[in-house]
Structure 1
Amino acid sequence: MSTTWLDEVTWNSDGLVPVVAQEAESGDVLMVAWMNREALAMTLAEGYAVYWSRSRNRFWRKGEESGHRQKVSEIRLDCDGDTVLLKVEQAGGIACHTGRHHCFFRKLDDGVWEAVDPVLKKPEEIYRS
């Protein structure tokens, strides 16, 4: 059996690897999610981020409901092989389900988490469930 690029990833005991999505142009860290082997292979094949939803126990194509897809320009693996970095172009400028540019909108200030980034679009306008 030959070794493939997927074999060089250190998968956790659940067969998953954490993935950091970084906006290629700005360098902003947009979000962190999980992928299994198939999701990573699908991401490469499709050119758009495909994650593994642990809560839904299924593949999750970023933007499948919101339209805020992530076009992948580069895939990197860290030095330990246990974290993937996706450099992406974020459609619509919104990566977070709260309607913000990224998921890291809360800042610790004097022992209190405060939202410091604005909602760009209300979630009820993004998701029609």
Structure 2
Amino acid sequence: MTTEAAIGTLDGIIDTVSAQHPLLPLIGLLKTNGKLVLVGAPEKPLELPSFPLLQGRKIVGGSMIGGMKETQEMMDFAAKHSVKPDIEVIPIDYVNTAMERLLKADVKYRFVIDIGSTLKAA
């Protein structure tokens, strides 16, 4: 599905981005009464356009972290609806390169360090 085809089709979005980024494209993806939940913590405040929120009766909320119950509910919901993250799995010996890429903003997905394979190799 293209981004244009997805406009106005989502009930909710969980935004995990911890860097400066525009919210307007995300708000545009929401249906009327849709919810955007921010769980990332950018260093600087994000710009929040009010008109698209008012026009579509959309809601923006946030959370620093949930407890065990909320975390389990989120995991159950993700499993039930086949919600999967976009990640880049890296070996432990790539961590320094990954950090350099973070500093250059050359990261499209979250890094996940494959500790299991690293330990098996040792």
TM-score over 0.5 for the pair: no
Q: Which has the higher contact order (CA 8 A, sep 6+)?
A: 1
Answer 1 or 2: which has greater helix percent.
Answer: 2
TM-score range, shorter chain: under 0.3
Answer 1 or 2: which has greater strand percent.
Answer: 1
